Structure 1
Amino acid sequence: MTYTGEVKVGGPADVHELKDLMITKIAVGPMDNNAYLLRCRATDEQLLIDAANEAGTLLGMIGDDGIASVVTTHQHGDHWQALAEVVAATGARTHAGREDAPGIPVPTDVLVDDGDVIRVGRVELTARHLVGHTPGSIALVYDDPHGHPHVFTGDCLFPGGPGRTTRPQDFESLMSGLEAKVFVLPDETWIYPGHGNDTTLGAERPHLGEWHKRGW
């Protein structure tokens, strides 16, 4: 079946099958968070992005193979409610942005900076530090050698605009980071956000001017 990225809390996961990587997306409540399970096809190693909530749901998706790592995109509580239970059950190493790690009440094994590479099997994900939604938000870029890039943006970019900011300087910082580190990628780049449906950079790029004008 064709991947759409349209998932609902309590519903089935959706699977995006790439040549080297399988991406499973699931929604968990109560704040309609997305969690993503990445599986290297060559090694079967797995990595989870955002143990947001519903540990039982996430562990069921992970299955008996477990996960080697879990990455928390940022420090907001709706993105780590299941982190302690998932780590306890799997022994996974934890990753988070250096500036946000102190706000996550589960110890962070690997502090992530801009440009750092996080591996899942033979697949490499490049971290992009984006300041504005939180001080230490990170996006993860998979530059698929067989196709277009795929970016897991947490709450920094959604269909229709950037993530929530509370001060004009935070908005400008987030927009600057997105334009310098994410929108430099091609239009075909697939965006996997922390909530809601997926999008592409091509769908969002024409609206950058509107976002700047409205200030959110």
Structure 2
Amino acid sequence: MAYTGDVTHGGGPAVRELAGLTVKKVSVGPMDNNAYVLTCRSDGSQLLIDAANDAETLLELIGPAGLATVVTTHRHPDHTGALKEIVKATGARSVAGADDAAAIPLVTDTVSDGDTIAVGDCTLEVIHLVGHTPGSIVLLYREPGGIAHLWTGDSLFPGGPGGTRNPKDFASLMGDLETKIFGRLPDDTWFYPGHGKDSTIGAERPAIPEWRARGW
């Protein structure tokens, strides 16, 4: 079955095979958070993006191969509900953006803009976007011979940027999105958000002036 990225709470994962990585997406918790397990296809190393909730579901998704790393995209509690349990069960290191780390239940390593995180022999680039939270991070994977892929947490969704608390935060997030994401990555870049459906940079790009005008 072709990958669509559509998942429902209590349903099975959506699985996508990339060059170098397998992506498994599942919806967890009362707020239908997306969690993603990335598996290096050459050595089986695994990384989890957002241990949001439903630790049992996430551990089943991780399976017997174990987990090397958990990355938390930002500090909001609906993205960290299962973090302690997952780290305790797997021994994985816990990674978050430096400016959010103090507000996340368990962090062993911090990252900043331009840092990289390994998944076996695959590399994820950290992009720091300020606005949804001070330390929100996005992860970029450039598929060898293929397209770019982004895990955007709650900084970017189909239909607009993630929520912000005031005009200053909105302006910051939009500035970072336009400079670091839309100004840098091609239209076929696929992105995987913290809730709901996936999209592409090209599908969202025409709406940027509308987002700016509405202010959210």
Report what 1:177 is aligned to. 176
4+ aligned runs moved over 2 Å, structure 1: none
| Distance in 2, Cα, partners of 1:44 & 1:76 | 30
Report what 1:192 is aligned to. 192
Shift of residue 209, structure 1, vs aligned partner: 0.3
| Distance in 2, Cα, partners of 1:103 & 1:47 | 21
Q: Say whether the 8 Å CA contact 2:25–2:34 is kept in structure 1.
A: yes
Shift of residue 60, structure 1, vs aligned partner: 0.4
1:164 aligns with 2:154: no
State percent identity of aligned pairs. Answer: 60
1:10 aligns with 2:7: no
Report what 1:116 is aligned to. 115
| Distance in 2, Cα, partners of 1:23 & 1:198 | 13
Report what 2:201 is aligned to. 201
Shift of residue 70, structure 1, vs aligned partner: 0.3
Pairs within 5 Å for 1:63-212: 63-106=63-106, 108-183=107-182, 184-212=184-212
Report what 1:28 is aligned to. 28
Report what 1:50 is aligned to. 50
| Distance in 2, Cα, partners of 1:62 & 1:75 | 22
Code of the residue aligned with 2:2 in structure 1: it is T
Shift of residue 156, structure 1, vs aligned partner: 0.1
Q: Say whether the 8 Å CA contact 2:19–2:146 is kept in structure 1.
A: no
User: Aligned to 2:105, what secondary structure does the other structure show?
Assistant: coil
Structure 1 spans left out of the alignment, 5+ residues: none
Q: Say whether the 8 Å CA contact 2:70–2:94 is kept in structure 1.
A: yes
Code of the residue aligned with 2:18 in structure 1: it is L
| Distance in 2, Cα, partners of 1:181 & 1:121 | 26
Shift of residue 110, structure 1, vs aligned partner: 1.1
| Distance in 2, Cα, partners of 1:212 & 1:48 | 32
Code of the residue aligned with 2:210 in structure 1: it is E
Residues 144-190 of structure 1 show CA distances to partners (whole Å, capped at 9, x for unaligned) of 12211000000000000000001001001001111111112000000
TM-score (norm 1): 0.99
Q: Say whether the 8 Å CA contact 2:83–2:105 is kept in structure 1.
A: no
Q: Say whether the 8 Å CA contact 2:24–2:37 is kept in structure 1.
A: yes
TM-score (norm 2): 0.99
